[in-house]
Every structure is written in C-alpha cells, then in structure tokens.
Chain A
C-alpha cells in the first residue's frame, strides 16, 4: 500500500497538499514504487482513507434513499435529512446529502515501468459495487436511460462536485446514480480507517501473473483534500482469497483460542479424573 497524502515535504504530492475543491486546474503527482513479488490472479486496487469518520451519525443520516432509488418526486424534492446539502440556490441537489457531497474524486492510474517505457495497466471500473446496490437500491430516474441530462432537469450538482451527476461517466449504464464509484462511496464504512474498492485488474491469462514484480508508477489526480482534518490517503493493491484480503488477525485469533480451548479441555479432564471420582465414591453408602 502506498500512502500518498503528501504530508512529508519529500513526497511528490506535497505540492497538492492544500488543494481545495474548487480549484480549476487539477494537481497531479506521480509516485513510483516497486513490487517485490508478482501478484497472481485477480488484483484489486483500493483507495484508503484514515481519520475519516464515515460513521458519524449526522453524516450517515444525510442521504435520501428514495431519491437515489429513482423516485421522481424525491428527485425534485429531496428529504429534509439532507440539510444543509439539500438545495443550492433554490434548486434541489441531486444526489443530496453530505455523503454524496464528499465523494472521493481522485483519479488513480497505474503504469508499469519496463526499461523506461510506461505501459498502462487496464483498470476495470465495473463490478466493484454490490449487485443489489447497483441493480436495486440505486436507480436512475425513470425515463430514457440514454439522455440522462434531460432526466436530471431541474436539479443541480452537489456543491463540492466538479461535474454534475449525469456526467460521471460516458457509458450510460455507469452514469447517473448507478455509477459504481458513486455507489461504492455511498456505502458508508464502519470505521474511521477504511478502504474502498476502486478498480479491478483482471488476470489476462493463466501463464502470466497479473502484475509482475518490478517497478510501477502511480499517477494521481489529487482532487480530494484531506489535510485539513489530518486525514491520510492511501492506495492499496491486494489479491484476495476466499477468506478475504491480508488480515492476519483472524488466523492468529483462531490459533490462540483453539489452543486455549485445548488447554482448558486437558485441565478439566485432569480435574475430573482426580476430583470427580473422589466425589462420586463418597456417595456410596456404607
């Protein structure tokens, strides 16, 4: 994982540290890193945030699920929970609420450095959200799916967004509310340190590893300011097995608890043998 917040002056992203949300010119930086081992099978690319309380109560409430579900009346009249991100200049905001407003908008691109040639690595942006989210919970307003601009007529973009919601992606089935990055962001995290799935890197064929060991560079369009609340941003590359990604806690815990159980079992067996029999023999009447 690579932390690219840029708080240290030596980091290439230091210049972008104090970027604000409405700066017109995007700030880009590049970080080079090396992979020691190849990554077999599918590789998942995450962005991680620290000290970002997505489980704040007021924050969690600040959304309108019926608007996100495509309800036309809620589209133009968002719920009161979204205050103060409900209307902007008398026009209803779609999507409303603080969660949507704070959507992560850095762009990350990965290049492989191969003897001074940079080859981009294909990042797949579909399939990162839950199926139920994409197909049930989040729906665009009813109407012609191809002309989202017209569907969102009468609304305005969230305050801190550079682009309105119907311009999140060119593809119609990833645009509007059903944009997967948006959906992933809207699924609030439980803890202040979290990571969210950003892109997938699919395995090309069985012979070659997905990501070979070697040098890589990460191009960042640094749009998301976190320095003001001492947050940190990271990029994480990980493979996952059936049990999930790298988190040794569960394995260690199981081994510990298992050995405690075994130990207790042995102790109780000894005690039962020594004292249990003695007790029962006292019951035999003379």
Chain B
C-alpha cells in the first residue's frame, strides 16, 4: 500500500540510530538489500513495487528504521543508511523457490568485502547456522511465540565470503547457469554449497492484517448455519495462514488436501475414486450408524458416525482437472456423434455431473473450504456449482476486479469498497465498507427483512380475505346476483387508506429481537433458511383465519338484523352494509395491532391515521352535500351517521370485534406464556448450553519447534530474481548520489 506507516518501536528506532550494535546494523542492512522489490522515484516519494506484500512490508520497515532502499540496477543496489548513501554491487542473486524456502544475495559492499545475506523459513535457516548458542535459542523461543500468534516468520542470517571462495564459486555458477540439462538442480546444489555456516542475525514476523472483526464475523456466520468458503488467488500457504488467522480453520480440523480428495495420478481413475467414494458414502449413510470409516478412502466417512470437523483445500489447477474434463469431453462429442453413441455421450455428461455433485457434497460436508490460486472464472464456476447442486442461496463478497464474476453469479453479490478500486462495488447488489459489516447485513437486516416480508404478506392476505369475503357470503342471501355488500367507496378505499398504512409500518420497521440480540444469537438466522415464517402451512392458516373473520363479521350482523327493527337502523341495506364494514375493518385493525411486536411512533401513527381516515372518508363520501352534487356516485348519504349512532349497531360491532379477536389473542397468549415461539425457544436453548469460547487469535496448544507450522513469509513465486539479473524489469536510470 501507499500508506507511510511510521509506527515504530521507539527503542528499536533509537538503537538503530545509535548504530552501536553491529548485528543490528547488519540486520537492517539485510532487510534493505535482500529482496526483489522494485522502486520508482516519483518526485519526493519513493514508491515500492513488490511481488508480494511481505517483501514490501520488510523494505518499508527497514526504511522506517533508517535504512532506505533507494535504487536498483541490474547489478547494484543503492541504499541510504542513516543518512549515508552507499552502493552495493550485486554479485549474484540466489532466488527463492518453494523447495529451498530461502533467498540470498551476494553483495560486495563499498569497502570491498563480499557478504552473503540470506533470509528464509526458520527451519531451513536454523539448519545452516554456524553455531547454536544462547542467542539462537532466544531467537527460537521468539519464533515459537510468533508462530503461536499465527504470524508468518522469517529468519535472516549472513556470512562473509572470501574473494577466493567467491571466485571459485562464481566460475562454477557461470558454468551451471548455461547448462542445458538439470540446470535447476545444479544451481540448487551450488546455492546450497554457498549458504552454509551462516550467522543468525535475527527473525522477522509478519502479521496478516485482517480487517477488524473478520474472525468474529466468520464465527457468527458459521453459527448462523452459513457455510463460508474462501476463494483466493493467493498460494496455498498464504491461504492456509489466513484461514488459521481468521479462525476459519482450527487446530482440531482434519485438513484434506488435493491428494486426499482424488488419489490417483491419472484422470479417469481420479474420477472413479470420487465416484466410488460417493456411492460408498451413500450406501453407508443408508445403512446403520456404526459403520467404520474405510481406511484408504479416508475422506468419505459418512457424516453420521464420523463427526470429524474437516476442511478441504484445493487449488485452481486441481479444480480444472476435476471439473472441466467433463466439459471438454462434452464438446468433443458434437451433434452427429450423439446419434451414433448416445449412451456414451450421456454417460460422460452424467459422469461429469456426478463428479461435480460428489465434489459439492464433499465440500459442503466440510466446515471450511479454501480454494487457492483460482482464476476469476473459476470463482464464478464454484458459485455456479453450489447453486446447481444444492438448493442454497449463495452470497459472494469480494473487493477486487477479479471478484466481479463471482459477485455477478451469486444470488447476492456484495462488494467491499476498498483499496483495489470500485469495480466490485459497481456490479454488486450491496456495497459495504468493511467485511465485518457483513454480519450486520445478514444477521440483523437480512433476518429482519425476512421477518418483515413474511408478516407483511401474511397480513395482506388476511385482511383481504377478512374484509372482502363477506360479500361472497352476502351473495348467498341476495340471490347470487353479485350485489356488493359494501358501499363502493368503502371498497375502493379499503385497501388504499384504511388498512394499508399499519401494515406498511410493520413492513418497514418490525423487529422481533433487538439488533444486539440478533448478533448474539446467530442461530436465529436459521429461521429464514428453513422457510419457517411463510410456507404453505402458514398461508393456509392465514386463509382460514381470514375466512373465519369474514364469516363472523357477516353472520353476527345478519342474525342481529334479521327481522330486527330499531330506532334508526331498520334492517335496510345501507345500515347493514355499514355494520358489516365497520366490524370487518375494526377486526382487521385490531389484528395488526396484536401482530405488531415492535411499536414505534410510526406504527402508532399509522393505526390512528387509518381510523381517522376511515372516519374522514366515510364522512366525506356520505355527506349530504356530496350527495347533492352527484347522487349517482355518492350513494349512501348519511348512512354511517345514521347507523353508527344506533346503540344496537354499536353493540353488534363490538360483539363481532370481540369474537374475531379471541382466537388470535388466545394464540398469542399461549405462545407468550409457554414460550413456544421459535425465537424464544432458540434463545433459551442457547442460553442453557455452555457459552461458546470467545474468538481469539491465539491457540492454546503450545508447540514444540518440531511441530511448528512452517508459515514462512514468502508469498510469491520464484523467478523474480532472474527478472532482475537479466534486467528485464529494470529501466536504465541514473542512480542518485554516490
């Protein structure tokens, strides 16, 4: 990055400035010299371009401590040490590769001494030291502590090389460099020869700085029954380290790498391995629960008896081999072939499908999946696979241009606006600023919105049935002549003004548990995954409820009015209509009042507004003046006033209201008392269990040095040193200073 982090340990800085300790001097000099970073001088700033962020971090650290890497040519490096600019002649660059796990530079400093500076993984450096004294032991202890904190470590060492030795070696090096066969092996041997008897200078540790809150977010998502897969373009070691850093992988997980997933060098047998394992696992699953895991197919233990936590790590090439072969075969068999060899073509397509399905099944049975070195196309392919073979909703989150494919393929695409630009944000459905906001997006807002939509739908169906089915019942008594029971204006305004606003406020603002509790109990998220709040059963219940309400509203009014005479309401059509309308409307409003769990000012406002609007519009449309203006439109002059001031009618309305409210009030009371609501149940269940250990970045297992995970900080590939020595990546520039 471009940030100039001037955060530095004050003691270290002071020690470096004092320049008393030769070891420290060499250490910092090494940091500034032994790397493959390119530098560009932009005005007053020095911009470093490194093959991996680790190298850049080390060079920046050296700069902050006073040893600035200034310029580089094909065979020299210029650094400024505490104000003094010195140019070192680069005699050889011994490049990094994943077997050697180290890199070195052989430089001649301005005084003429030849030194070899090496940095690499602690295992390989510690083997090649001249002696192991108390300083070395101290360094080893420090490395242990670093590894415990899941930092990636490097050891740095150096030694002095005599002229004679250098000349002899250089001659052999020149010969080996032009060999036609076994060049790499020869070079490796030569490097090995040179890098012996090193003097340990120190150790560095690099932290994979994750964004704030990433481990906690991932934990919460996993608790909410969301499977988390990591698709990255980094190499496997880096991906694994990050996996451990964010607690996606834990120490008690069994890591399945590529070789275990498909053991077999040739492709067809790898397919058949997975296929066979898949069939076997299926058969085992249908059998009894105590089948032992078959030994050679260790990855296909059926889930029921073996509750091992597993993680699978695959790389992009492996995915290519596994999943694209089927595609290639399909392409070969074109249209005419299909006629001749129908079953063959279908079989291969089916086989590809089966392989895909087997892979997806295996992957979803693991707690974590990490795919490294995947191309953007493969990222989209992974998402597609999950969507095709599992009926799951997929969410893809990324922050770079290489994530655009997968963001578009997934059901929900989330882009993080960050340092890499805004392409991910522009093509996504949701844009966040940090990864940790995902937990709020999903667990709080996602869940609330599911709840709100379900309540909204339920209520909408209910109120339509409850209000308007009464007309169907009236048809039974009106000779089936489609005479509407309600006044035309009531029908028109029922859905717009009288009942729409309270449910709108429910749909906007309803919460069942607070935000804090939603984050504390991610298990509540399962409610949405299992369609619990709106499915056929819920719809059926709503339908019945609405039908029941309408029946009650209508028939109570009917029996009350039958052959009835009153002081004002005389059993006529308009009074009857008003009675049924008012009882239905009030019942429906009371239902939404009961249903609203989270009262805000808006909800209260909406309910009162609905009632007021009802009164207002009834008054307006039934006023005498309106009738005078347009008698054909306003057909019910004074109907409400006449009817509703009759105490009999009021009693009828009250009765219908009570009878309508009883069932849902009882249901609410039951669930409240017995705590049967799903949310409360889950909360109680969780509270009874032991609290989960808080997410920490440290592991509690102390590790001996031989069990230390080799997490060294080289995250690029080999070849960069070659680029530099050949001058391919350098521009001819005049060097600054002396």
Chain A residues with CB under 8 Å of chain B are: 44, 46, 48, 53-58, 60, 65-66, 69, 79, 130, 132, 136-137, 187-197, 238, 240, 242-245, 247, 249-250, 253-254, 257, 260-261, 264, 268, 271-272, 275-276, 279, 282-283, 285
Pick the most buried of B474, B666, B673, B675: most chain A CB atoms within 10 A of its CB. Answer: B673
Q: Does chain A have a CB within 8 A of B482?
A: yes
Pick the most buried of A58, A190, A196, A245: most chain B CB atoms within 10 A of its CB. Answer: A190
Q: How far is the CA of A283 from the CA of B683 in the complex (A)?
A: 10
- 7 smallest CB-CB distances across A and B, nearest first, come from A190-B576, A244-B566, A65-B631, A57-B483, A57-B481, A245-B565, A55-B478
Q: Does chain A have a CB within 8 A of B180?
A: no
Q: How far is the CA of A276 from the CA of B669 in the complex (A)?
A: 11
Closest residue of A by beta carbon distance from B635: A65
Closest residue of B by beta carbon distance from A268: B669
Q: How far is the CA of A54 from the CA of B569 in the complex (A)?
A: 16
Q: How far is the CB of A202 from chain B (nearest CB, A)?
A: 15
Identify B624's interface contact among A79, A132, A194, A261, CB under 8 A: A132
B648 cross-chain contacts in A, Cβ below 8 A = 243-244, 250
B565 cross-chain contacts in A, Cβ below 8 A = 44, 46, 195, 197, 238, 240, 244-245
Q: How far is the CB of A65 from chain B (nearest CB, A)?
A: 4
Identify A187's interface contact among B574, B627, B673, B674, CB under 8 A: B574
Question: Is there an interface contact between B673 and A55, defined as CB atoms closer than 8 Å?
Answer: no
Question: Is there an interface contact between B684 and A275, defined as CB atoms closer than 8 Å?
Answer: no
Pick the most buried of A44, A55, A193, A244: most chain B CB atoms within 10 A of its CB. Answer: A244
Question: Is there an interface contact between B560 and A250, defined as CB atoms closer than 8 Å?
Answer: yes
Q: How far is the CA of A117 from the CA of B399 in the complex (A)?
A: 107
B306 cross-chain contacts in A, Cβ below 8 A = none
Query: Within residues 539 to 586 of chain B, which ones have a CB less than 8 A from any CB in chain A?
Result: 556, 558-577
**Hey, what's the 0/1 contact readout for B634-646 against A, CB within 8 Å counting as 1?**
0101100010001
Question: Is there an interface contact between B572 and A254, defined as CB atoms closer than 8 Å?
Answer: no
**Hey, what's the 0/1 contact readout for B192-217 against A, CB within 8 Å counting as 1?**
00000000000000000000000000
A196 cross-chain contacts in B, Cβ below 8 A = 570
B478 cross-chain contacts in A, Cβ below 8 A = 53, 55-57, 192
Question: Is there an interface contact between B567 and A242, defined as CB atoms closer than 8 Å?
Answer: yes
Q: How far is the CA of A55 from the CA of B561 in the complex (A)?
A: 14
A130 cross-chain contacts in B, Cβ below 8 A = 568, 638, 642
Closest residue of B by beta carbon distance from A271: B673
Closest residue of A by beta carbon distance from B625: A136
Q: Does chain A have a CB within 8 A of B340?
A: no
Question: Is there an interface contact between B563 and A244, defined as CB atoms closer than 8 Å?
Answer: no
- Knowing A190-B571, A250-B655, A254-B655, say if A244 contacts B564 (CB, 8 Å): yes
Question: Is there an interface contact between B651 and A283, defined as CB atoms closer than 8 Å?
Answer: no
A188 cross-chain contacts in B, Cβ below 8 A = 572-573
> Could you write out 26 A-B pairs with CB less than 8 Å apart?
A48-B563, A56-B481, A56-B483, A57-B478, A65-B635, A66-B631, A69-B628, A69-B631, A130-B568, A130-B638, A132-B642, A136-B624, A190-B572, A191-B558, A191-B576, A192-B478, A195-B571, A238-B565, A240-B567, A244-B565, A245-B565, A245-B566, A268-B670, A271-B673, A282-B688, A283-B684
**Hey, what's the 0/1 contact readout for B619-635 against A, CB within 8 Å counting as 1?**
00000100110011001
Question: Is there an interface contact between A272 and B563, defined as CB atoms closer than 8 Å?
Answer: no
Q: How far is the CA of A65 from the CA of B695 in the complex (A)?
A: 78
B674 cross-chain contacts in A, Cβ below 8 A = 271, 275-276, 279
Closest residue of B by beta carbon distance from A56: B481
B651 cross-chain contacts in A, Cβ below 8 A = 243, 250, 254
Q: A247-B562, A261-B658 are in contact. List 12 more A-B contacts (CB 8 A).
A: A54-B573, A57-B481, A136-B628, A187-B570, A191-B558, A192-B478, A242-B647, A243-B647, A247-B560, A249-B562, A253-B655, A257-B662
Q: How far is the CA of A97 from the CA of B217 in the complex (A)?
A: 75
Identify B562's interface contact among A53, A79, A191, A238, CB under 8 A: A191
Closest residue of A by beta carbon distance from B688: A282
Q: How far is the CB of A43 from chain B (nearest CB, A)?
A: 12
B659 cross-chain contacts in A, Cβ below 8 A = 257
Q: How far is the CB of A131 from chain B (nearest CB, A)?
A: 9
Q: Does chain A have a CB within 8 A of B687?
A: yes
- Knowing A48-B563, A195-B571, say if A58 contacts B632 (CB, 8 Å): no
B684 cross-chain contacts in A, Cβ below 8 A = 279, 282-283
Q: How far is the CB of A133 from chain B (nearest CB, A)?
A: 8
Q: How far is the CB of B624 from chain A (nearest CB, A)?
A: 5
Q: How far is the CA of A69 from the CA of B565 in the complex (A)?
A: 26
Q: How far is the CA of A225 from the CA of B237 in the complex (A)?
A: 101
A249 cross-chain contacts in B, Cβ below 8 A = 559-560, 562
Q: How far is the CA of A8 from the CA of B573 in the complex (A)?
A: 31
B669 cross-chain contacts in A, Cβ below 8 A = 268
Q: How far is the CA of A244 from the CA of B571 in the complex (A)?
A: 11
Q: How far is the CB of B508 from chain A (nearest CB, A)?
A: 32
Identify B564's interface contact among A132, A247, A260, A285, CB under 8 A: A247
Q: A-side binding surface: helix, strand, loop or mixed?
A: mixed
Q: How far is the CA of A238 from the CA of B565 in the complex (A)?
A: 9
A264 cross-chain contacts in B, Cβ below 8 A = 662, 666
Q: How far is the CA of A250 from the CA of B574 in the complex (A)?
A: 20
Q: How far is the CA of A244 from the CA of B648 in the complex (A)?
A: 7
Closest residue of B by beta carbon distance from A71: B631
A247 cross-chain contacts in B, Cβ below 8 A = 560, 562-564
Q: How far is the CA of A66 from the CA of B662 in the complex (A)?
A: 45
B646 cross-chain contacts in A, Cβ below 8 A = 244
Pick the most buried of B474, B478, B569: most chain A CB atoms within 10 A of its CB. Answer: B478
Q: Does chain A have a CB within 8 A of B134?
A: no
Question: Is there an interface contact between A193 and B632, defined as CB atoms closer than 8 Å?
Answer: no
A238 cross-chain contacts in B, Cβ below 8 A = 565
Closest residue of A by beta carbon distance from B557: A190
Q: Does chain A have a CB within 8 A of B652?
A: yes
Q: How far is the CA of A232 from the CA of B238 in the complex (A)?
A: 95
Closest residue of A by beta carbon distance from B556: A253
Q: How far is the CA of A250 from the CA of B563 in the complex (A)?
A: 13
Q: Does chain A have a CB within 8 A of B479?
A: yes
Closest residue of B by beta carbon distance from A189: B572
Q: How far is the CB of B507 from chain A (nearest CB, A)?
A: 30
Q: Does chain A have a CB within 8 A of B189?
A: no
Q: How far is the CB of A196 from chain B (nearest CB, A)?
A: 7
Q: How far is the CA of A253 from the CA of B631 in the complex (A)?
A: 38
Q: Does chain A have a CB within 8 A of B338?
A: no
Q: Does chain A have a CB within 8 A of B477?
A: yes
Question: Is there an interface contact between B570 and A197, defined as CB atoms closer than 8 Å?
Answer: yes
- Knowing A130-B642, A189-B572, A197-B570, say if A275 contacts B673 (CB, 8 Å): yes
A244 cross-chain contacts in B, Cβ below 8 A = 564-567, 569, 646, 648
Question: Is there an interface contact between A250 and B481, defined as CB atoms closer than 8 Å?
Answer: no
Identify A132's interface contact among B560, B566, B638, B688, CB under 8 A: B638
Pick the most buried of A191, A243, A264: most chain B CB atoms within 10 A of its CB. Answer: A191
Question: Is there an interface contact between B675 and A66, defined as CB atoms closer than 8 Å?
Answer: no
Q: How far is the CA of A15 from the CA of B235 in the complex (A)?
A: 109
Question: Is there an interface contact between A268 and B673, defined as CB atoms closer than 8 Å?
Answer: yes
Q: How far is the CA of A230 from the CA of B642 in the complex (A)?
A: 33
Identify A191's interface contact among B481, B561, B568, B688, CB under 8 A: B561
Q: How far is the CB of B660 from chain A (nearest CB, A)?
A: 11
Q: How far is the CA of A58 from the CA of B481 in the complex (A)?
A: 8
Question: Is there an interface contact between A190 and B573, defined as CB atoms closer than 8 Å?
Answer: yes
**Hey, what's the 0/1 contact readout for B480-504 against A, CB within 8 Å counting as 1?**
0111100000000000000000000
Q: How far is the CB of B583 from chain A (nearest CB, A)?
A: 13
Pick the most buried of B483, B568, B628, B648: most chain A CB atoms within 10 A of its CB. Answer: B483
Q: How far is the CA of A213 from the CA of B311 in the complex (A)?
A: 98
Closest residue of A by beta carbon distance from B484: A57
Identify A56's interface contact among B479, B560, B562, B638, CB under 8 A: B479
Q: How far is the CA of A249 from the CA of B559 in the complex (A)?
A: 7
Q: How far is the CA of A267 from the CA of B562 in the complex (A)?
A: 34
A58 cross-chain contacts in B, Cβ below 8 A = 481
Closest residue of A by beta carbon distance from B666: A264
Question: Is there an interface contact between A192 and B477, defined as CB atoms closer than 8 Å?
Answer: yes
Q: How far is the CA of A154 from the CA of B177 in the complex (A)?
A: 125
Closest residue of A by beta carbon distance from B675: A279
